[in-house]
Every structure is written in C-alpha cells, then in structure tokens.
Amino acid sequence: MSALSTAGFAGNPLLEKYRTPHGTIPFDNIKNEHYLPAFEEAMKQHLNEISAICNNKQTPDFENTIVALEKSGRLLATVSSPFYNLLNAETSDELQDIAQQISPLLTEHSNSIQLNEELFARVKTIYEQRDKLKLSAEQQTLLENAYQGFVRNGVNLSEKDKESYRELSKKLSLATLQFGQNSLKETNRYELHITDKKLLSGLPDNIVEILADNAKKAGKKGWIIDLKTTTYVPVMKYADNRDLRRELYLANSTKCMTGGEFDNLENIKTIVNTRLEIAGLLGYKNYADYVLIRRMAENKENVYDLLDKLRVAYHPAAKKEYDELQTFAYENGAYFVLQAWDWAYYSEKYRTKKFDLNDEILRPYFELENVKKGVFGLAEKLYGLHFNINKNIPVYHPEVSAYEVTDAKGKFVAVLYTDFHPREGKRSGAWMNDFKEQWMDGKKDSRPHITIVMNFTRPAKDKPALLTYDELTTFLHEFGHALHGMLSKVTYASLSGTSVYRDFVELPSQLLENWAPRKEFLDGFAKHYQTGESIPEELIQKILDAENFNAGYFCLRQLSFGYLDMAWHTIEKPFDGDVVACENQAMEITNVIPVVDKTAMSPTFGHIFSGGYAAGYYSYKWSEVLDADAFSVFDKNGIFDKKTADSFRKNILERGGTEAPSVLYKRFRGQDATIDALLKRNGIVK
C-alpha cells in the first residue's frame, strides 16, 4: 500500500488497508465500479511519489532515487493486481469495457514516468557512478534495470519522437488487449449441437457426460461440443467420426480469421507493425533485436542457432513417426493421407497398441484431490513446504481455494490460490501469476501471494475430477512457476520470483515436469479413485516407455511456433501481406503433416500477440535445454535429494532476477548447459 493517505476514499476497498489474513485481496468486497476510481487515485498518488523524488534537494543517490523509484507505485500495483488477474480468470463484458478505458490511461501514465527527463537525470547520475558505489549484486541489477528501463522506453528520443512513442505504445496496448478479448469471445461463442449420439462414438463416458451437461445448461437436448481445451482435445483424440473431427479442427483453426467482429487479421498487422515502429524509433532494425538484447539468447542469431540445431536433430525422428503412424492407420482401414484432424486420433490408437496405454487407462489414478496431495507433497520433500486451506481468505470464485504455505518450522511462506476448471469467463490454457510480489521493508519480509490457474477436466455426474497425464504435467509445470514465486527471497519487488528473463523463467516450471513419470513420485499419491489401489508398477513402466512417443513431432511443433514468432518479429518493413501465407512460409521447414488450406494459428496466438512472449516463444525450448541439464543432477543424486534441492532453491528459486541467469545457473550447475541432456532424454541420441 502506498505511504500516501487514502483518506476521502472510504468505501472503496481497493483504496483501504486490507484487513484480511496476510493482507490478501478482499474479493468479497470489491465491485466492478470500484476499479476506475481506484486506478485514477493510484495513478495520481504514483505521480506525486515521482514528483517527490524529482523535487528532492539532496544529491541523487541510490537510496533517495533508485530505491525510492522502486517503492513508488505500490498502490497502483495493489489496484492492478486483482483487476488484471480477473480479466483472465473470471472476466465479464463489464471488466473488458473497463480494460478498454484504463489501458490507454495506464500506458500514458507509464510513459509520463519513463519519459520524465528530470527523473532520468537523477538515475543517470547514479548510473554513471556505479563502479564507485560498492553496490551488492542485487543493487547493481536494480540500478541497471532502472537505467535501461528509461533508455529502452524512449527517454533519449527527441520531443517529436517521444510523442510518436507515446502514441505508438497506446496503440499497441489497445491492439494487444483487443486481440486477447477477441480470441476468448470467439472461443466462447462456438458450439456444435449434436442430437445423434452415434456421432459421439469413441468418446469416453465422462466426456459424453460433459457434453450432455453443456447442452443442459444451454436449455437444449442432446450434446454440445465447444472449443474449450477439455472438450476439444478429447474429441480430437477419441471421436471415431472423421467428419466430426474435421469440422471441429477447422472451427478451431479458423478462429478470429473469417471476418466479423472478432477477426484478428488486421490486429496482427497493427501489432507487428507498431512493434516494428517502436523498435525503429529506439534504433533497432526489428523488434526481435530490441527484445533479445535483454535476454539470455542476446540476439536473433543465437535463437535461430538453437531452433536450427534442434530441428536438424529432431526432424528425422518426426518424419519417421509420421510414416509409422500412416502405416498403422492404413493397416487399420484408413486408406487416405493422414491430415491434421487425424493425428491425435491415430496417435492415441497407436500408442494404446504399442504401449497398452492411453489417457483413459491412467485417469482413474489421477483424481484431482490426490494429485494435489502428490504435488504439494513433492514441495514438502524437496523444500519442506506445507499447504493448508484457509477458508477465511477471500477468493474470487467459489471454485478457487486459498492455501497458507508454511516451511518446515511452521513459518509463513506465501499464500497460494488454486483455480482448476474451465469457465466461460476464463481464458484457455494454464498460467501462474501473483497477486502480490515478495519484497523486504527494512528487516520485514513481505511475503508473496501467488495464483495458479488451469482448465482441467471437470467432475462428471458420478465421478470426481479425473485428470489426464498431460494435465498432471501441466499442474507440475504451473506449480514450478508458483515455487519460483513463493520461495523468493530478495530485497526488491521488481526482482522477485518470476521477474527474470523470459528465456529463463520456464526453467523451474519445466524442471518440475520431470517428476511426473517417476515411480518414487507416483507411488505417493496415484491411487485408483474407486479401489484405492496404488498405480501398478507395470503401468508406471508403460508411462516411462511411452515418454518419448512422438517426441520428434512434439519438438518440431514447438519449434514451428518459435519460427513463426521470430518471423513476425524480425520483419524490417511494415507488413501488409497475407497473414496465412506468411505463417505457412515461416513454419514450412518444420512440417511433417500436410498443411490445411486457409487455416492458421496466428489469429489466436495469444502468447506472442497478447501475452509477453513476443520474440520470446523460443524460450520454451531454450529452457527445456536448461531443465534437462538441471534434472540430470537430480537424476544422478536422487530425485528427492535434499542437497540438490537446497542448491536449486538457494541459487535459482530464491534469487529471482537479482543476477544474470547465466550466473545463477552456473552457480547451481557448475557449468553452462548443453543440448546433450535433452537429446538423451528424448531418445534422439543413445
């Protein structure tokens, strides 16, 4: 909460001191009409704090300028946090309208600070003396980030170019916001009403029940298929009716690109061209050059070097996988060339035959409540953490749970919110975020409030929520991010938790996925929801045997997204061409399945057009190299080895963005990572 008074704003819970457990957000008191006035007051107070720094008559120093700047705007962060989290997890038309109003105001507010020459002059004075100041590594990073923040946001531009920057940044913020809203609305409005149950042949009973429930909620008889992940994925994987799979695939792959109010084709052009203009103003040839200079990769040449090396290594495996699947399909009566809507269906059948394993065999052992115990139990084994629900902590939806997290000595560590199932107001996918970061106020450690949001299979009429194996790994992934946030132990909020380079942030999340197939881990929680029987050892072995099934294909799929992202953000001239043609060209070198005409992923590629991964999607593969290399240490020493876990916690999880990622990683590993461990893990090299 800002040090400035909020007197006169009684009745607006966002502007009052939170009298809740651990100062958590009072969701039960916040109404939509509170947001706009709270944003306006918070921005006003933030500017007053900035004025106080600028008007300080004392000689600029680290404490009165850099630390003061770091601490400014806490009230604005307090107001922004619930709003933007709910905009993704529990949105409404009213919240989206407020976002449209507030987005340009926030952009202008940020610009008014980042383009403040008087403030920058103080920062620059300290930055130029940095070698004489005897700063700690964390202080050096805070100073570097502060200085670069001004430079990279245009403070050195001419007055004319500053005005251009202001307009471009407002234009970009609105376009990216609209992109995400269009994608959610287009997903939500699609429904395929089925009245003939024969069309649902092959679908597991629990999925059929979910589709029936969809219809019931819509006041219709029969079944309704939508494009939410928990519906779309199982239909593509199990539906025997090829025409149904094709129809659903085309619906999903033409979202936001067929005209109408939710079309994103023009939005894409606006976004990439505006980013190009901003990069040009700041002296870069393209947006990727601007972004990557502050990443582990450093430049686009290193990104392409990684993508190309992995493509060369994995492409033969992917081609072999496709050929094997085509042969299998032909032998089972599929006398046609496999298309995109066939891949998941025949892959699942082939995997079942080859390994006697599929999602429905595993589901009974992954009941959500047991999985939670297993994942939380892993954090206890590695880091001594304990998780207890506190029903006195307000939540934003009845399905959300709030946990108090404590360490082995009972000391409070963090608050963790969990939100597992899809809703109309929730965007697709899975993510971790924070409601409050960790920081130090003097000697007081102000602990973080973290949230993980998923879209997992809902309970059926007579069954609890039973997860797929992929959903288990997704849970581990997001929980890895959560550990990064919860275990933060830094001084400054802007350096805490996941506030690290984008190509480093996926290391803790992807690392945790490595525990998913391990017997020692599964034995602790994977029990049949009806019989209580532990998952059989032979089933665990089948999971391990199947771990690299289609590894080549899945690697190339991720690489294709990386190539596409780089294609959009390495343009050096404004783009006004065909979005689909541009996408096809970018992804061509990774294709193993025939391309479907007039389909594209760009119009709903939220990671790069409305998220934070522009010129950064390669990060998933970059971090995968790191996680395979890091897990090799656990593999060698024991997957619950406390010494290894303590080292990872101390050198990476606790340190956030306080030092360069390469320094932190070497401190843990003793050397740089290579792709060798990843190639070995995926069976590409023996």
Condensed to tens digits (0 to 9), the pLDDT of residues 537-568 reads 999 999 999 999 999 999 999 999 999 999 99
Condensed to tens digits (0 to 9), the pLDDT of residues 72-82 reads 999 999 999 99
Within-domain flag for 180: no
Q: Which of 49, 277, 478, 583 is catalytic?
A: 478
- The two three-digit tokens of residue 429, written as one number: 């996918």
Same structural domain for residues 399 and 526?
yes
Within-domain flag for 174: no
Same structural domain for residues 18 and 121?
yes
Condensed to tens digits (0 to 9), the pLDDT of residues 436-451 reads 999 999 999 999 999 9
Condensed to tens digits (0 to 9), the pLDDT of residues 481-495 reads 999 999 999 999 999
Give CA–CA dist 148/86, Å, rounded: 31
pLDDT higher than threshold 90 for residue 47: yes
Give CA–CA dist 526/518, Å, rounded: 11
What pLDDT does residue 3 have? 36
Stated length of the chain: 686
What separation, in Å, do the N-terminal and C-terminal C-alpha atoms of the chain show?
55
Please give the distance of CA 635 from its chain centroid, rounded to a whole number: 26
The DSSP line for 532-591 is -PBPPHHHHHHHHHHTTTTHHHHHHHHHHHHHHHHHHHS--S---S-HHHHHHHHHGGG-
Left (φ > 0), alpha (ψ -120 to 50) or beta: where does 225 sit? Answer: beta
**Residue 478 annotated among the catalytic residues of the structure:** yes
Give CA–CA dist 89/95, Å, rounded: 11
pLDDT band at 10 (very low <50, low <70, confident <90, very high): low
Within-domain flag for 273: no
Alpha-helical segments (H) within 334-468 = 340-355, 359-362, 368-383
Q: What percent of the chain has pLDDT over 90?
A: 96
Q: What is the bridge-based pairing of β-strands 401-406 and 386-389?
A: antiparallel
Span 291-296, mean pLDDT? 96
Within-domain flag for 276: no
Q: How far is CA 335 from CA 199, 241, 653, in A?
A: 21, 15, 52
Within-domain flag for 47: yes
Same structural domain for residues 386 and 508?
yes
pLDDT band at 9 (very low <50, low <70, confident <90, very high): low
The dihedral formed by the CA atoms of 178, 179, 181 and 184, expressed in degrees to the nearest 10: 170
Q: What is the pTM of this model?
A: 0.93
Report the CATH number at residue 103.
Answer: 1.20.1050.40
Task: Choose the final residue of a domain: 236, 253, 270.
Answer: 253
Report the CATH number at residue 450.
Answer: 1.10.1370.40
Q: In angstroms, what is the C-alpha Rg of the chain?
A: 25
Same structural domain for residues 369 and 487?
yes
Span 644-661, mean pLDDT? 98
Contacts of 374 (CB under 8 A, 6+ apart): 521, 522, 524, 525, 526
Q: Are 543 and 361 in contact (CB under 8 A)?
A: no
Span 156-184, mean pLDDT? 96
pLDDT band at 8 (very low <50, low <70, confident <90, very high): very low
Query: Residue 207: which domain range?
Result: 190-253
Same structural domain for residues 412 and 321?
no
pLDDT higher than threshold 90 for residue 460: no
Mean pLDDT of the chain: 96
Give me the number of domains the chain comprises.
4
Within-domain flag for 32: yes
Same structural domain for residues 368 and 307?
no
Same structural domain for residues 526 and 398?
yes
Condensed to tens digits (0 to 9), the pLDDT of residues 504-518 reads 999 999 999 999 999
pLDDT higher than threshold 70 for residue 272: yes
pLDDT higher than threshold 70 for residue 14: yes
